[in-house]
Amino acid sequence: MATGDETKLPLTSPDVNSARLDRLREIFPEAFTEGKIDFEKFQQVLNGDVTEAAERYGLSWSGKSEAIKNIQTLTTGTLLPTRDESVDFDTTENLIIEGDNLEVLKLLQGGYHGRVKMIYIDPPYNTGGDFIYPDNYKEGLADYLKFSGQVSGEGVRLTTNPETDGRYHSKWLTMMYPRLFLARNLLREDGVICVSIGEEEYAGLRLILNEIFGEENYRNTLFVRRYDKNLNRQFTESGLKTLNVGTECICVYARSGEFTVNPVWRPASEERQTTGYWKGFWNAPDRPTMRYDILGATPVTGQWKWQKKVAYEAVANYAEYLKDFSQKMSLEEYWEHTGKKKNFIRRNPDGKGKNMGVENWISPATNGIMRSSNWTDILASETLRNLGLEFNNPKSVELITEVVKFCSDEEDIILDFFAGSGTTAQAVLELNKDGENRKYILVQLPEPTGRKDFPTIADITKERVRRVIKKLNETDSGKLPMENKQDRGFKVFKLSSSNFKVWDAVSAPKDAAGLAEQLKLMSHNVVENRTDDALLYELILKSNLPLTSKIQSGKIGTQTFYDVADGALAICLERKITQETLRGIMARNPKGVICLDIAFTGNDQLKTNIVLEMKSHGIEFHTA
């Protein structure tokens, strides 16, 4: 409701566009006139860094302006806590959120901005028959509430994206662009996003990731193996037009140059684990400073692999082995005997080519072989029969486990906003068995399945994670000491409309009598039948704090208040608050305080006084 009251807590999602303008204003204050960007001044400030070319490199498609508008449109929704579908709700730091991921990503912009280390998603591959998005998703939350049956009205059905559609690729890009844009905001500076994709939209995905994350932040495309299919056997006589698709990709983009990958290893053969081998020491990159004499050989082009000091030490190491140890033990035994750290270089007199016989020794792969971008030893998908569930083409736990190890460390937050059956959660839970403490956030649309046991995909997501937790608990029952107890729970939240009545200027009555009636209804702005639990978590969310913030309840007289995040925020949900309660909260010196607006009904003086008192103590005060 537009009241002009400065104490009112904003009940919309954070305005990401406004935040970006604020950063520009801070960096280029001279480029703003009366609060607006003056593009002529902006160009002057940037000097030669502005292109005036009529034609320029870029990405465009039918619907891009709609995608950008979707980013800028705020949501008034909230996430309702659902304790009866959760596991260890009060203690866990894992989240499963049921709802449209675009709306949910907007709601997470405050509490999770710059907190997520890794995002993994497996979006629709746009094969022509899979889910893209509800077909009339123009009104965001309003349409989602119809889709999920939370309000009456014409239903919003799921749509496919047939190849005969004139905007076949454009529709997919319009769906993905705002989600990827908002996802980037959630990543830490050293964060990373990994996106599984098939060949149908690989090119389009790379282009929008380049635009959103920057081409310089592209790190790798990982290739994984699909199940072999024999679809083409029927066409062998008449002639094949294409081969069966045997791989799919995972595109890896960093948030910035601060991200570094963890080395991951694939299993080595028994022979490779015990035996080393010699390999040419020359590389193609052409750096003159890396061309120097080794054992009488100096490359004309290209370079040696290592710096001069390291290479000369390796030459000396091998000479020492030949002189003092070669008659007693193999090079493998000598390497192990000396701590598995020494490098060796020799010159093979029979060697030819650009390395001129200069070779470095590759040690036995005792830890396995370090992975390249070729992950085709891993299948992209697997069945869920071991959990007693059915789901089409769920991602394999082995694959996602490797990706999580590759991109994150033991205390990090992992986000998957196309959660599907919940493979990401299982991968995190199984990795945590070794004493690690990664947390997961899953987001999944309640897409209908047509089944009675699990009516939506979100129901399958939650049930799978419950069964994984149960299986892990049974496996290590009584084995783990209390100090090593793992977080094997999850909080469930569901996307819904706000717990507070939001003033809608567009639909508000225009006549005086209707307006007066609407104002009367808005005077008690808490939606009927919403619990204090729901109000509490909305206020935490809209105060830009995580949904897993520590909450402790306390009493001042007979009235209850909540301490959130160790004094970051104090919340009181009493419908009629007393001065004693307000001053008792203030005495605890929280950074911020939120009370219900209706708590001051008929006592404006109390509200005026407490605002001044809180301000004098440096406490930010809001009402909702």
Could you report the per-residue pLDDT of 67-108, keeping only the tens digit for each? 999 999 999 999 999 999 999 999 999 999 999 999 999 999
Q: Is 543 left (phi over 0), alpha (psi -120 to 50) or beta?
A: alpha
- The answer to whether residues 91 and 488 touch, using CB atoms and an 8 Å cutoff, is no
For the chain, what percent of residues have pLDDT higher than 90? 68
DSSP letter for each residue of 260-296:
-PPP-EE---HHHHH--EEEE-EESS--GGG---BTT
At 39 the pLDDT is 78
Q: Which residue has the higher pLDDT, 567 or 521?
A: 567
Is the pLDDT assigned to residue 126 strictly greater than 80?
A: no
Distance CA 174, CA 363 (A): 49
- The answer to whether residues 186 and 115 touch, using CB atoms and an 8 Å cutoff, is yes
CA distances from 148 to 104, 134, 462, 497 (A): 14, 11, 17, 12
List phi, psi (to 5°) of 302. Answer: 70, -150
CA distances from 523 to 42, 71, 293, 530, 597 (A): 45, 31, 85, 17, 9
- The answer to whether residues 268 and 368 touch, using CB atoms and an 8 Å cutoff, is yes
Give the model confidence (pLDDT) of 24-68 as tens digits.
888 888 888 877 888 777 877 777 677 677 677 778 998 899 899
At 47 the pLDDT is 73
Is the pLDDT assigned to residue 238 strictly greater than 80?
A: no
Give the model confidence (pLDDT) of 494-520 as tens digits.
999 999 987 655 455 566 665 555 555
At 59 the pLDDT is 85
Q: What's the CA angle centered on 193, arms 75 and 369, to 5 degrees?
A: 160
Distance CA 603, CA 612 (A): 15
Q: Coil, strand, or helix at residue 232? A: helix
Quote the pTM value.
0.86
Distance CA 99, CA 143 (A): 12
Nearest by Cα to 188 from 254, 107, 111: 254
What the block records as the tokens of 489 is 């729970």
Question: How large is the C-alpha radius of gyration of the chain?
Answer: 30
For the chain, what percent of residues have pLDDT higher than 70? 88
Most confident among 127-131, 283-287, 363-367, 485-489 (mean pLDDT): 485-489
- The answer to whether residues 118 and 408 touch, using CB atoms and an 8 Å cutoff, is yes
At 134 the pLDDT is 57
Tell me the pLDDT band of 558, cut-offs 50, 70 and 90.
Answer: very high
Q: Coil, strand, or helix at residue 35? A: coil
Distance CA 513, CA 401 (A): 62
Mean pLDDT within 379-407: 95
Of 21-30, 154-163, 382-391, 593-602, the poorest mean pLDDT is in 154-163
What the block records as the tokens of 150 is 């939370």
Buried b (16+ CB within 10 A) or exposed e, 165-200: eeeebbbbbbbbbbbbbbbbbbbbeebbbbbbbbeb
Tell me the pLDDT band of 261, cut-offs 50, 70 and 90.
Answer: very high
- The answer to whether residues 20 and 26 touch, using CB atoms and an 8 Å cutoff, is no
Sign, CA dihedral 137-142-144-149, equals negative
Distance CA 132, CA 508 (A): 34
Delineate the domains of the chain, giving CATH numbers in brackets. Answer: 16-71 (no CATH), 72-231+242-264+372-496 (3.40.50.150), 270-363 (no CATH), 512-623 (no CATH)
Please compute, for residue 165, the number of CA atoms within 13 A of its CA located in the half-sphere on the CB side: 17
Is the pLDDT assigned to residue 18 strictly greater than 70?
A: yes
What the block records as the tokens of 320 is 């020492």
Element (H, E) at 570: strand 569-572
Please compute, for residue 530, the number of CA atoms within 13 A of its CA located in the half-sphere on the CB side: 20
Distance CA 603, CA 623 (A): 14
Nearest by Cα to 257 from 210, 213, 222: 213
What is the amino acid identity at position 91?
T
- The chain-wide mean pLDDT, for the chain, equals 89
- The answer to whether residues 156 and 143 touch, using CB atoms and an 8 Å cutoff, is yes
- In the chain the first and final C-alpha atoms are separated, in Å, by 10
Is the pLDDT assigned to residue 521 strictly greater than 70?
A: no
Give the model confidence (pLDDT) of 446-466 as tens digits.
999 999 999 999 999 999 999
- The answer to whether residues 191 and 258 touch, using CB atoms and an 8 Å cutoff, is no
Q: Coil, strand, or helix at residue 378? A: strand
Q: Is 260 left (phi over 0), alpha (psi -120 to 50) or beta?
A: beta
Distance CA 70, CA 308 (A): 55
- The answer to whether residues 277 and 284 touch, using CB atoms and an 8 Å cutoff, is no
